[in-house]
Amino acid sequence: MMGLVQFVSLCAFASAALALSTDGSFEPANFNITAALIANGISPEAIPDTQTLNERSSLGTCTVACRSLKTIFGSSRLLNQGSTGYTNFTGAYWSAQQNSVRPGCVFTPTKAVEVSTAVLISRLTQCPFAVKGGGHAAFAGSSSIEGGITIALQNFKRIEPSADGKTVDIGPGNRWLDVYQTLEPQGLNAVGGRIFSVGVPGLILGGGISFFSNKHGWACDNVESYELVTASGKILTVSYTSYPDLYWALRGGGNNFGVVTNFKLTAYPQGKMWGGGRVYTNASFSAALDAIYNFATTGSPTDPEAAQFISFGYEQGFGPLASAQLEYGKPIANAPVFADFNAIPSVQSTTAIQYQSNITITLNGGVPDGARETYWDASFKADRHLFTFLVDTFYALLPAVVDAAGLLPTISIQPITAGQLVGMQKNGGNALGLDPAGGPYFIMNMASMWTDPADDVRVLKFHADVLERVKVEAQKRGLDNDFIYQNYASQFQDVFSSYGKDNQKRLVAVSRKYDPKQVFQKLQPGYFKLEGGAPNPDML
Ligand SMILES: Cc1cc2nc3c(=O)[nH]c(=O)nc-3n(C[C@H](O)[C@H](O)[C@H](O)COP(=O)(O)OP(=O)(O)OC[C@H]3O[C@@H](n4cnc5c(N)ncnc54)[C@H](O)[C@@H]3O)c2cc1C
Ligand SMILES: *[C@@H]1O[C@H](CO)[C@@H](O)[C@H](O)[C@H]1NC(C)=O
Ligand SMILES: *[C@@H]1O[C@H](CO)[C@@H](O)[C@H](O)[C@H]1NC(C)=O
Ligand SMILES: *[C@@H]1O[C@H](CO)[C@@H](O)[C@H](O)[C@H]1NC(C)=O
Ligand SMILES: *[C@@H]1O[C@H](CO)[C@@H](O)[C@H](O)[C@H]1NC(C)=O
């Protein structure tokens, strides 16, 4: 039972002018990559000669790119195929699917300018790249690239609150546990992930749902500034005042605008909190759905400190189970906002007054590295009937996969509360396209782990089928909402069109302005791109 319990709980303007070139564009049409590399301090002899690149490309552009990085930075920054370091690295993603990818080389920079050089080398040689933060995206190629350069940010380990405790600089090489364990002794917190091993950068760049989101919005709504390596290698400090368009785009834009080498997050005073998980058998499903519905609609506005979501799953050898995550920002047990859940008998509970780090540690127990994984999601208006419909549909279709080896299938209801929607409006709003007037919404996210690749197709199809049926029901009842949450989306889903036509257009315009050659669309092909649909449009 523990495995399921833990697993299902997952779940201005002035400085802008400075960066413009003489022709008024961010990157001029005659941008000289070699000159930019020299400006980064790279000696001309170490830069691949574009004249001879064509002849040398019999070697493969990526062989040239990886060799150049080695010449420039030495072997300590490069993990090459066949080395133990490379094997360790490529085997250390969260999902088995990502572990199966074999990059040409792995580059481990220590400074933003080194990331800039890697992006420029990729441009010069046309060898594609991927960027890895915590490596928790589920599908293959999200943060690694077959044959290309994987830029691994593991050395960016800064966690440094400002002297006044109002902000904290966090490097993209951190996991959320690092963040919480560093900040808690100082009485501080930042809005971030709920399971400790998840990476800081991917979570923030896609949105980032936190235990504190009812009060502060999502993680992306609590970024004061980003240090961003752009396509032309320029390193910008992107804030609401310095580059408002790029700042907006980064709030939900994923990996499409550059490589973030530092996040300056808002810091909040925080001591111990209350929270944990409670497990219910199917005799209580209806009462549990009432409870989460009441929280999503009338409960959450009464108390900004509260967070709740619920997951339904199936544990082989046991049967259907639900697990609610109940959290409260103050060290107060069973606050009135949890009254509905408190009235339901649970078969197991881990709720306690403790630090956030402890809660994230408990949750991590159920999400081991190295299994086959898939994530899927959709969003709808909060509706009690639809909650029952989606749970029933999940269990009705489950027999198609229930015997798959090591299967742990889940479906969750994560309210997007009125408080979250208010938090999203800060500093010009984010790119996600969630209209507060249509709320409250909820995210229906499905996640499964299993072990045998022979079951891939039927497991993926199970998720697609549940999603499709719930979508049809929601459309019929006027409850459908376009938004697909990037961080829970599968490779078969089109995230950016789900942000709405206007937002998608605006994102594309920002991308063309700061990345006219579309480096982050073409040379970094993995994960969700701004245009062109789902990463894998073919299957299912
Ligand atoms: C066990 C588990 C628990 C989770 N819990 C939560 C949760 O509580 N709340 C929530 O909202 N989501 C949650 N998620 C989803 C999570 O936010 C995504 O999986 C996210 O992509 C993970 O980020 P990462 O850095 O670990 O991933 P990675 O796989 O390293 O990166 C994901 C994407 O971001 C890009 N990227 C990474 N770093 C950078 C950078 N510095 N600059 C530009 N692009 C970059 C990568 O190229 C890749 O495309 C959870 C996922 C898992 C597996
Ligand atoms: C690009 O810059 C390099 C180094 O300054 C110079 O040698 C080269 O001629 C430039 N290329 C073009 C096309 O201007
Ligand atoms: C590879 O991983 C093993 C086991 O975790 C570790 O002992 C070893 O030092 C690692 N080697 C390298 C080169 O990273
Ligand atoms: C609960 O699940 C069990 C085992 O799958 C099943 O036999 C029972 O009918 C279910 N009960 C309810 C109330 O749905
Ligand atoms: C929380 O975790 C810390 C270690 O990170 C541990 O020392 C402490 O005992 C834990 N507290 C609770 C309440 O579990």
Q: How is the chain split into domains, by residue range?
A: 4-152, 159-269+499-522, 273-493
CATH of domain 159-269+499-522: 3.30.465.10
CB burial of residue 516 (10 Å; 0-12, 13-18, 19+): middle
Q: How far is the CA of 197 from the centre of ligand 5 (A)?
A: 16
| Residue 287 Cβ contacting ligand 4 at under 6 Å | no
| Residue 132 Cβ contacting ligand 1 at under 6 Å | yes
Q: How far is the CA of 39 from the centre of ligand 2 (A)?
A: 12
Please indicate whether the domains covering 4-152 and 273-493 agree at the CATH topology level: no
| Residue 282 Cβ contacting ligand 4 at under 6 Å | yes
- pLDDT value of position 13: 37
Ligand 2 pocket mutation pick from 31, 32, 49, 52 by most atoms within 8 angstroms of CB: 32
Q: How far is the CA of 282 from the centre of ligand 4 (A)?
A: 6
Per residue of the chain (540 residues), what is the pLDDT tens digit? 434 444 443 333 334 445 677 788 999 999 999 999 999 999 999 999 876 666 655 568 999 999 999 999 999 999 999 999 999 999 999 999 999 999 999 999 999 999 999 999 999 999 999 999 999 999 999 999 999 999 999 999 999 999 999 999 999 999 999 999 999 999 999 999 999 999 999 999 999 999 999 999 999 999 999 999 999 999 999 999 999 999 999 999 999 999 999 999 999 999 999 999 999 999 999 999 999 999 999 999 999 999 999 999 998 888 999 999 999 999 999 999 999 999 999 999 999 999 999 999 998 888 889 999 999 999 999 999 999 999 999 999 999 999 999 999 999 999 999 999 999 999 999 999 999 999 999 999 999 999 999 999 999 999 999 999 999 999 999 999 999 999 999 999 999 999 999 999 999 999 999 999 999 999 999 999 999 899 998 865
Tokens linked to 105: 């080389």
Atom of ligand 1 nearest to the CA of 219: 11
CA–chain centroid gap for 199, Å, is 8
Torsion angle (degrees, nearest 10) of CA 292, 298, 301, 307: -10
- pLDDT value of position 49: 82
- pLDDT value of position 245: 98
Ligand 3 pocket mutation pick from 87, 88, 90 by most atoms within 8 angstroms of CB: 88
Side-chain half-sphere CA neighbours of 517 within 13 A: 20
CATH of domain 4-152: 3.30.43.10
Q: How far is the CA of 433 from the centre of ligand 3 (A)?
A: 44
User: Which letter does DSSP use for residue 485 in this model?
Assistant: -
| Residue 396 Cβ contacting ligand 4 at under 6 Å | no
The H or E element that residue 263 is part of is strand 259-266
| Residue 12 Cβ contacting ligand 2 at under 6 Å | no
Query: Minimum-distance ligand to the CA of 528?
Result: 1
Nearest CA-CA partner of 278 in 344, 332, 187, 200: 344
Ligand 1 pocket mutation pick from 143, 158, 223, 377 by most atoms within 8 angstroms of CB: 143
Query: Minimum-distance ligand to the CA of 391?
Result: 4
- pLDDT value of position 51: 66
Query: Minimum-distance ligand to the CA of 399?
Result: 4
Ligand 5 pocket mutation pick from 353, 355, 356, 359 by most atoms within 8 angstroms of CB: 355
For atom 11 of ligand 2, which residue has the closest CA? 32
Query: Minimum-distance ligand to the CA of 184?
Result: 5
| Residue 255 Cβ contacting ligand 1 at under 6 Å | yes
- Sheet with 129-132, edge to edge strand ranges: 78-80, 105-107, 149-152, 129-132
Q: How far is the CA of 478 from the centre of ligand 1 (A)?
A: 31
Atom of ligand 4 nearest to the CA of 319: 5
- pLDDT value of position 538: 83
- pLDDT value of position 55: 60
- SS3 of 407-451: the string is CEEEEEEEEECHHHHHHCCHHHCCCCCCCHHHCCEEEEEEEEEEC
Q: How far is the CA of 479 from the centre of ligand 4 (A)?
A: 29
User: Which letter does DSSP use for residue 272 in this model?
Assistant: -
| Residue 171 Cβ contacting ligand 1 at under 6 Å | no
Atom of ligand 3 nearest to the CA of 84: 13
For atom 3 of ligand 5, which residue has the closest CA? 358
Q: Which CATH number fits domain 273-493: 3.40.50.1820, 3.30.1330.10, 3.40.50.620, 3.40.462.20?
A: 3.40.462.20
- pLDDT value of position 71: 96
Q: How far is the CA of 87 from the centre of ligand 3 (A)?
A: 9
Rounded CA separation 288/282 (Å): 9
Beta-carbon contacts of residue 287 (< 8 Å; ≥ 6 apart): 340, 343, 344
Beta-carbon contacts of residue 190 (< 8 Å; ≥ 6 apart): 168, 170, 179, 183, 219, 222, 265, 266, 267, 268
Atom of ligand 3 nearest to the CA of 88: 1
Atom of ligand 1 nearest to the CA of 367: 1
Beta-carbon contacts of residue 1 (< 8 Å; ≥ 6 apart): 279, 315, 318, 321, 347, 348
- pLDDT value of position 464: 97
- pLDDT value of position 5: 42
- pLDDT value of position 9: 39
| Residue 84 Cβ contacting ligand 3 at under 6 Å | yes
- Strand-pair partners of 259: 229
| Residue 80 Cβ contacting ligand 3 at under 6 Å | no
Atom of ligand 3 nearest to the CA of 83: 13
For atom 2 of ligand 2, which residue has the closest CA? 35
Query: Minimum-distance ligand to the CA of 212?
Result: 1
